[in-house]
Amino acid sequence: MTRFHYNSILLAFAAALLSSAHMVPYRAFAEEEKTLNILIVTGGHGFDEKTFYGIFDQMPGIHYDKISLPADMDRLAPGLEKEYDVLLTYDMNQFPVTEEQMENYARLIKAGMPLLVLHHSFCAYPNWAEYRKIAGGTWLYKPAEIDGKEWKVSSGKGNVSLVIDVADKNHPITQGIDSFTVVDEAYQDIYIRSDVHVLLSTSNPEASPKVAWVDRYGEGAVFTLLLGHDKNTYENPSYQKLLQQGIQWLASQRKTLTDNK
């Protein structure tokens, strides 16, 4: 056998080993992949549906269904956890809700259903005090006293250029995300609980300093993100990454919903 043939055989053998070594981890990773099922809740506020849902259409590993309030309010109750990994609310429900509906919604999250509260969904349920415990705060439609402090009516301003800073760079939701600028609707004079864990902030005086945070309501992990008014934000790559990593983190925090059995 010539030296040339001998070297050729060695190279072929080495290539086969490398190919095999690369294939095993790939197969293992593929077997571990799991499609996350999320339910997107809308209603009570218009939005650019095509561009908004386009975010999730191109998001890998995500399947979504959608419902609209008030018609589907009864869906937000124990039992929903059997169908979905994460609940994403983008509604601004100000329609009348019954005591039973409010109680069922609270029970669902408290028992461990992960929740993503997005933009104007923070402003929902003006007559339901418990909702501010779920979302980590509330929009104030009238002056109120909360936690011993007087709060005035909240306000919003559209098309505000916001420099968004990452307050916690070590959290899984913010991994790989640096400060970014986005033109969005800014909320002012809103109530946010002092004990939420802030992920994003801004120094723009026209907006709330706290832009995104995580919290728990009972056993349920909650991620509240105030950004997301229109396509100016929808199409921002950092925003899209926040949503994807937020959904993934919420799903990883999912608890066994023993209270619903």
- DSSP 8-class letter at 12: H
Distance from chain centroid for Cα 242: 8
Please state the length of the chain: 261
pLDDT at 259: 40
Domain of residue 132, CATH code:
3.40.50.880
Q: Please tell me the pTM assigned to this model.
A: 0.85
Residue 188 maps to a domain = no
Amino acid at residue number 196: V
At residue 242, φ and ψ (nearest 5 deg) are -60, -45
Collect contacts of 29-35 with beta carbons under 8 A, ≥24 apart: 33/61, 34/61, 35/61, 35/62, 35/63
Residue 15 maps to a domain = no
Measured at the CA of 195, the angle between CA 162 and CA 130, to 5 degrees, comes to 95
Residue 76 maps to a domain = yes
Residue 251 maps to a domain = yes
Report the domain count for the chain: 1
Are 227 and 46 in contact by the 8 Å Cβ rule? The answer is no
Beta strands, E only, the chain: 36-42, 62-68, 86-89, 115-118, 137-138, 144-146, 149-151, 155-166, 180-188, 191-192, 197-201, 210-217, 220-225
Are 153 and 189 in contact by the 8 Å Cβ rule? The answer is yes
Residue 169 maps to a domain = no
Q: What is the pLDDT along the chain (261 residues), one digit of tens a residue?
A: 444 444 444 444 444 433 333 322 322 223 346 899 999 999 999 999 999 999 999 999 999 999 999 999 999 999 999 999 999 999 999 999 999 999 999 999 999 999 999 999 999 999 999 999 999 999 999 999 998 899 999 999 999 999 999 999 999 999 999 999 999 999 999 999 999 999 999 999 999 999 999 999 999 999 999 999 999 999 999 999 999 999 999 999 986 544 443
- Distance CA(154)–CA(125), nearest Å, equals 14
- Using DSSP's 3-state secondary structure scheme, residue 60 falls into coil
Amino acid at residue number 167: A
Residue 145 maps to a domain = no
**Residue 126 lies in domain:** 34-139+209-260
- Distance CA(131)–CA(14), nearest Å, equals 61
Residue 105 maps to a domain = yes
Collect contacts of 141-144 with beta carbons under 8 A, ≥24 apart: 144/191
* Alpha-helical segments (H) within 38-98: 49-57
Residue 146 maps to a domain = no
